[in-house]
Amino acid sequence: MPERKEEQLVLRLKDELIVAGQRLWQRQLLGGRDGNISVRLDGALYLITASGVSKGFMGRDDILLVDDKGRVREAAAGRQPSVESGMHIAVLQRNPAIGCVLHAHPVYATAFALSGADLNACAPEALQLNLGYVPTLPYAPAGSQELAQQTAQALQTHCAVLLARHGAVTCGENITQALLRMETLEQAAKTAYIGKRLCAQE
């Protein structure tokens, strides 16, 4: 019954993506219809969130099955894959150890990506211990090939990156690891920001 097993895996991963989306939204790591999440299935198939849906209110129909060429293999009526699907597929293709890619716009981490200030230079020790060095990638337009390729390359040696003027991407072996890394990144950025403000007042 291999098909049945595969179907069960798809449903389980869809449900995990739904819960991850709710947590991202509740923790204000993204707002509106922002952000996107993908997860690797067996072979060259991936699940990815649909374009234009709030990650806080997703159902199973808001998650599509795509292949490594970006072709949609399974989708509910009217659903299109995320505009950043090229980036997700590039990361997953180039890095076989990565099982999940998560892109969000957490306020403090994105503020560092906007200002160009080096988060690593002022973050609490937990950032370095848990995520290592977090580079800020040069600006590339959302949804572009350039953004996809430079993110895929950076995530070969890093587990979190900031995208200039845009947001953040984390990856992990699974959904939970990618999610916790995004939380750690934002927590560190928020603490770093407040710490800098306090120092400036002294």
- List contacts with Zn ion (CB under 5 A): 167
- Whole-number minimum distance, CB 34 to Zn ion, in Å? 6
Q: Which of 73, 40, 77, 44 is nearest to 62 (CA)?
A: 77
- Whole-number minimum distance, CB 103 to Zn ion, in Å? 6
Residue number of the CB atom closest to Zn ion: 167
- Whole-number minimum distance, CB 166 to Zn ion, in Å? 6
Question: By C-beta, is 106 or 167 nearer to Zn ion?
Answer: 167
Question: By C-beta, is 10 or 25 nearer to Zn ion?
Answer: 25
Question: By C-beta, is 104 or 123 nearer to Zn ion?
Answer: 104
Question: By C-beta, is 15 or 146 nearer to Zn ion?
Answer: 146
